[in-house]
Amino acid sequence: MAMKARTLQRHFRESLKSLTRNGWMTFASISAVTVTLLLVGVFTIIMMNLNKVADDIENDVEIKVLIDIMEDSEQAKAAEKQLIKQIKALPAVEEVVYSSKEQELDLLIKDYGEDLSLFEQSNPLNNVLYVKAKDPQQTVKVAKQIEKLEHTQEAVYGKEKVEKLFNFLNISRNVGIVLILGLLFTAIFLISNTIRITIFARKDEIEIMKLVGATNSFVRIPFVLEGMWLGILGSIIPITVISVLYSNIYKLIQPSMNGELLQLLDTTPLLYQVNALLLAIGVFIGIWGSFMSVRKFLKV
């Protein structure tokens, strides 16, 4: 049977009234939501930033191939062409970018100042190929393959550093995912348990409502809405704390990191995403917790 809009209104009113009349129980449930969401939020932000750092580092890893310096420019051009062709033919290679020694010098001048423009007269640098592997983790393998090719003077990459870094990043990512999942399950368990206790205290009320002729949904809806409010109210503090804290940390740290490889995630959209996630978790757990608890007592 379709519910009248008036009745839905009544359910909303009733759920709000019940929040205020339940006093301590409401407070307990909201606190449970608040504490767990705060933990989930902080962890999510840390994990997302770690992930960003990992991605940045990974994507930054490239192989710098120094090409043999040859006197004869015709010969050199042919050799470079052949080398590019050979590198591109390697299955694990994503892209190859050519950079002449003049471009290389410009880069150095940009980074270290005009003093270096002296070298424009007699450029000591090599022509260079920048090679990226399809999967950053294959960098080491690719570099070794390139070093064996003719006309390669050297294939430079972070070597041991890169290898260790990748190991570390893999482990920290997995640990982070496990931690967040564990935290989420704890949150769901803790919050729905608190709500269950709240509703259990009202088992008799549910029985009375049914004796007076309330249908299951008439009994259930105000409880479920109440759970929703608990979720919303419980997410207010975590959302505020996390937003304020992260914005300030960002403001404090970010300026000193300008130009560095390591960067924090921008506050937008990160905070919107995390806050939406916290609100969603709160509302979902509130609704789900009430729904499951009421269901137990609704048997006729």
Partner 1 sequence: MIQMKNVVKKYPNGVVAANGITIDIKQGEFVYVVGPSGAGKSTFIKLMYREEKPTSGDVIIAGTNLSTLKNRQVPYLRRQLGVVFQDFKLLPRMNVFENVAYALEVIEENPQVIRKRVMDVLDLVGLKHKVRMFPNELSGGEQQRVSIARSIVNMPKVVIADEPTGNLDPDTSWEIMNIFEEINARGTTIVMATHNREIVNTIRRRVIAIEGGLIVRDVNGGEYGYES
CB of 31 to partner 1, least distance (A): 21
CB of 29 to partner 1, least distance (A): 15
Nearer to partner 1, 18 or 126 (CB): 18
Q: How far apart are CA 104 and CA 214, in angstroms?
A: 80
Q: How far apart are CA 237 and CA 240, in angstroms?
A: 5
Nearer to partner 1, 135 or 207 (CB): 207
CB of 10 to partner 1, least distance (A): 6
Q: How far apart are CA 53 and CA 264, in angstroms?
A: 8
CB of 17 to partner 1, least distance (A): 8
Nearer to partner 1, 23 or 91 (CB): 23
CB of 5 to partner 1, least distance (A): 10
CB of 18 to partner 1, least distance (A): 7
Nearer to partner 1, 17 or 159 (CB): 17
> How far is residue 72 CA from its own chain's centroid?
52
Structure tokens at 80: 């470079």
φ and ψ at residue 178, rounded to 5 degrees? -60, -45
Residue with tokens 């049977």: 1
CB of 30 to partner 1, least distance (A): 18
Q: Positive or negative, the Cα torsion across 284, 290, 292, 295?
A: negative
* Neighbouring residues of 129: CB distance < 8 A, sequence distance ≥ 6: 64, 65, 67, 83, 84, 87, 96, 97, 98, 99
* Interacting residues toward partner 1 by CB under 8 A: 3-4, 6-7, 10, 18, 21-22, 204-205, 207-216, 218, 300
* Sheet with 93-99, edge to edge strand ranges: 93-99, 128-133, 63-67, 152-156
Q: How far apart are CA 108 and CA 104, in angstroms?
A: 6
Nearer to partner 1, 102 or 207 (CB): 207
Nearer to partner 1, 17 or 141 (CB): 17
Nearer to partner 1, 174 or 215 (CB): 215
What does each C-alpha distance from 159 to 137, 148, 165, 166, 202 come to in angstroms?
12, 16, 10, 11, 65
